[in-house]
Structure 1
Amino acid sequence: MDLITTFREHPERMPGLAVLTTTGAKTGLRRESLLGYLEFDGTGVVVASAAGAARNPDWFHNIRSNPRVTVETGDTTYDAYAGIPPAPERDNLFARVVEAAPGYAEYQAKATRVIPVVVLHRLDRVKGMGDWLVEVHRWLRDELNSLRAQAIDGAVRLSPPDLRAHCAGFCTALARHHGGEDAATFPMLAERFPALAAELAELTAQHTTVARIQRELRAAVDVAELDRLAAELDAHFAHEERTVVTALNAIADAPPG
């Protein structure tokens, strides 16, 4: 009987362990690893120590390629997104790890690499930051659709100056949304979840296209330009939601209110 089977049948005999199921970076197959497992403030943590070996273990390479994992602690099983915290956060976490399990300090002293600490962000939030992002996108779509309707019937509903003012207001809101993503949200996600980095870079490039259309709209409100912006945004928002919603839901609750 192997250790993973023994753990599943008698977890009480092997406290402080968990089975981490990852997806093979090269094979795409399920891979199971029995690891030391700790929890801090209700969040699971595993350490890519490999007993102080010179190389990171295979499961760590797997989560860099696909962060979605399953965690079995003996008491519970849950789906999670495996995140790699930035250096200062990693150092603080590793200090807590060593305080709870001093053997990891010996592994770090033996290793020629900085041993990664991996945070297992649960995917069972009632409403996460990703859900909130979808709501923001819905609001922006509704605002743009309203602006398009006003442009089509502008002579009746709004004067041209008022229409340009509404357009400028929408463009400002959209620019702030994208600016926040480029400056903070996307870099943070790319650092914690390397598998998302290429998609996030593509989304950032799409922001440049959207910004160019916005500049053209500010100069002269035109129905055709509004339609073009709507098409670009629909495709961009759909791409963004496919890429980041799960990750954002994993790391934070939606803002209150």
Structure 2
Amino acid sequence: MTEKETTDNFDVRAFNNQVMAEFRRNEGKLTGWMEGWSVCILTTTGARTGKRRETPLGYFEIEGQPLVVASVMGGPKNPAWYHNIRKNPQVTVETGAETYEAIATIETGARRDHLFAAVAEQNEGMREYQRKTTRVLPVVTLRRIDPMSTQDSPGEERVRGLGDFLVEAHDWLRTELAELHRQLDEIIEGNTDPDLVRPKPSLAQQLRTHCTEFCAALKQHHTGEDQGAFPMLTQQFPDLAPVLERLGEEHAVVSRLQNEIRQLVDEYVPGKTNPAKLKSHLETLTQDLEAHFTYEEKTIVTALNTLGPAPNIP
């Protein structure tokens, strides 16, 4: 089909760009020798770069299940987009008639063989591609994960989902972390407030209290994910397992940094302890936590939104 990756004297990228431009210009319809083909544009996340990658592919529906085949026209190696979904299975699918989010599942065994046989019945070229290569052409099903929407009037906003709630929790934690930085900077700068009638409470004690509250909230947030959200996602979307495993490993790293910061804060003595070490640890936690939040929001929010509405917490 259109996913050819390497060939002599042929600019594959330019060809794919031309196909995608015509596809989008004509709402999914192609002309010339590709007229009548059912094609989609599959957007994946680069396994190494993390960048969005678009690929035009043959698009099939077997027994109501959308799917694509990593054929590369019978080439000897699996295409780049296939390796991308192995690391991050969340994809965007454009069909011309609609665009939707999906979880890409690499089918195996009898299920794969059944689906490929059905595809070959629709498209003789697929059977020829399989004859040309020793690798088993991967069949990848696309499981739609549209966010929940209201069932009332068309103009009504969609329901807040669990994924939206996750982002809100991240934003609150980001705000609290910024406050920790502010308090530590105040200690470092030695600021006081001369306008206060009563003595200002110890800045170190404020930092200690806020750090305790922040660390407890972050631990509760990650425990909730490990014991609640992640098991639900694994059950509903097994192909998210590599993503969830990485997020769980990051939780352990963040927990270690939290413990180190808590110890430094607890041992901090104004006028005796140099706060620079504490500042350095807090900056490391901030960088790691922001990278973790960003990756989590990019990979699981849409899937979480399909599992149910956000809790109504006043």
TM-score in terms of structure 2 length:
0.48
Partners of 2:283 and 2:201 in 1: CA distance? 24
1:156 aligns with 2:190: no
Partners of 2:174 and 2:79 in 1: CA distance? 44
Question: What do the CA deviations read for 1:7-55 (whole angstroms, capped 9, x no partner)?
Answer: 624899667x644355787999743211213697xxx7425586xxx98
Q: CA distance change for structure 1 residues 65 and 162 in 2, over 3 Å: closer, same or farther?
A: closer
Please tell me the residue identity of whatever aligns with 2:170: H
Worse-superposed segment, 129-138 or 144-153: 144-153
Partners of 1:30 and 1:231 in 2: CA distance? 35
Worse-superposed segment, 155-164 or 245-254: 155-164
Identity across the alignment (%): 27
Q: CA deviation at 1:233?
A: 3.6
Residue of structure 1 in register with 2:255 after alignment: 207
Q: Within 5 A, what are the aligned runs for 1:89-168? A: 103=118, 117-120=140-143, 129=162, 131-144=164-177, 145=179, 149=183, 156-157=200-201, 167-168=211-212
Q: CA deviation at 1:251?
A: 0.8
Q: In the comparison of the two structures, how many residue pairs are matched? A: 239
Structure (1 or 2) with the greater helix fraction: 1
Q: 2:55 aligns with which of 31, 35, 50?
A: 31
Residue of structure 2 in register with 1:83 after alignment: 103
Partners of 2:247 and 2:209 in 1: CA distance? 34
Question: What do the CA deviations read for 1:68-95 (whole angstroms, capped 9, x no partner)?
Answer: 644232422x263x5356x9xx79xx69
Residue of structure 2 in register with 1:244 after alignment: 296
1:231 aligns with 2:286: no
Q: 1:73 aligns with which of 75, 79, 95?
A: 95
Partners of 1:124 and 1:201 in 2: CA distance? 27
Report SS of the residue matched to 1:173.
Answer: helix
Partners of 2:268 and 2:241 in 1: CA distance? 40
Q: CA deviation at 1:175?
A: 1.7
Residue of structure 2 in register with 1:46 after alignment: 67
Report SS of the residue matched to 2:59.
Answer: strand
User: Any conservation in 2 of the 1:18–1:74 contact (CA below 8 Å)?
Assistant: yes
Partners of 1:175 and 1:222 in 2: CA distance? 26
CA RMSD of aligned residues (A): 5.8
Report SS of the residue matched to 2:42.
Answer: strand
Structure 2: which 5+ runs fail to align?
4-18, 127-134, 149-157, 193-198
Question: What do the CA deviations read for 1:146-172 (whole angstroms, capped 9, x no partner)?
Answer: 79649958x634798897565433322
User: Any conservation in 1 of the 2:89–2:104 contact (CA below 8 Å)?
Assistant: no
Report SS of the residue matched to 1:46.
Answer: strand
Q: CA distance change for structure 1 residues 103 and 123 in 2, over 3 Å: closer, same or farther?
A: closer
Q: CA distance change for structure 1 residues 190 and 222 in 2, over 3 Å: closer, same or farther?
A: farther
Question: What do the CA deviations read for 1:174-204 (whole angstroms, capped 9, x no partner)?
Answer: 2222334556649959952757976874564
